[in-house]
Chains A and B, each alone.
Chain A
Amino acid sequence: DQQVKQNSPSLSVQEGRISILNCDYTNSMFDYFLWYKKYPAEGPTFLISISSIKDKNEDGRFTVFLNKSAKHLSLHIVPSQPGDSAVYFCAASVWDDKIIFGKGTRLHILP
């Protein structure tokens, strides 16, 4: 039951370039979407979120885009930095409910 799908298990990006991480979802009831970042031996760290009433949310180098008709969201990181190397989880929730996570995408920032 993969309600949140991250189809790329890994992604390599040159330092300074844009990193684009993609996520698809199947449940049209989701109304809140989040991105978490995880380093080894640590818990997921909240990065940025977006409500379903918006199509874009920006916070510094991080921007999340939501395309509700396509049930697709993406996280843009620009410019990419070495410290951005981590596993990124896309997640979704229905208000008043649990978070459903994708399997994650491992981002490698190359020097």
Chain B
Amino acid sequence: EPEVTQTPSHQVTQMGQEVILRCVPISNHLYFYWYRQILGQKVEFLVSFYNNEISEKSEIFDDQFSVERPDGSNFTLKIRSTKLEDSAMYFCASSRGGLAKNIQYFGAGTRLSVL
């Protein structure tokens, strides 16, 4: 069964450093998302991406964040200068579109620890 793949599973970084979280969405999916879950809190939407551009972003997704689909398979989230409060699980998701657009399939997540 196709799945969303995320790497690395755990990323440790120093405050102020740049990180890139990587995702390979399901191959025939057209819509891509990033969510995060701070420990003990709910899963929160960050950004959606369709047709090579951001379609929506939350207030969390400020200028420190960017997304890119550099080739036909990868979808990345970059945090330019990490802060302690960026420590969280980051989930990538994708959906097929059409009538199945709202059904998003999630990866296992990347745990980001900012020290």
Contacts and interface: CB of A to CB of B under 8 A. Distances in A.
Interface stretch (A39-47, A61-69, A73-81): A39-47
16 contacts: A41-B108, A43-B4, A44-B43, A44-B106, A46-B104, A93-B102, A95-B101, A96-B101, A98-B33, A98-B48, A99-B35, A100-B45, A101-B35, A102-B42, A103-B42, A104-B42
Contact of A95 (B33, B102, B109): B102
B58 to A, nearest CB: 8
A49 B91 contact: no
Interface of A: 32, 34, 36, 41-46, 49, 89, 93, 95-104
Interface size, B (range): 20 to 34
Contacts of B35: 99, 101
B12 interface: no
Contact of B106 (A43, A95, A97, A103): A43
Contacts of A102: 42
Interface string B29-64: 000010100000111110010000000101000000
Contacts of B108: 41-43
Given A43-B109, A44-B91, A101 B43 contact: yes
Nearest to B9: A41
Given A43-B109, A98-B56, 12 more contacts: A43-B107, A44-B43, A44-B91, A49-B102, A89-B43, A95-B101, A95-B102, A96-B101, A97-B56, A98-B33, A101-B35, A101-B43
B41 A103 contact: yes
B65 interface: no
Contacts of B103: 34, 46, 49
Interface string B57-93: 0100000000000000000000000000000000101
Contacts of A46: 103-106
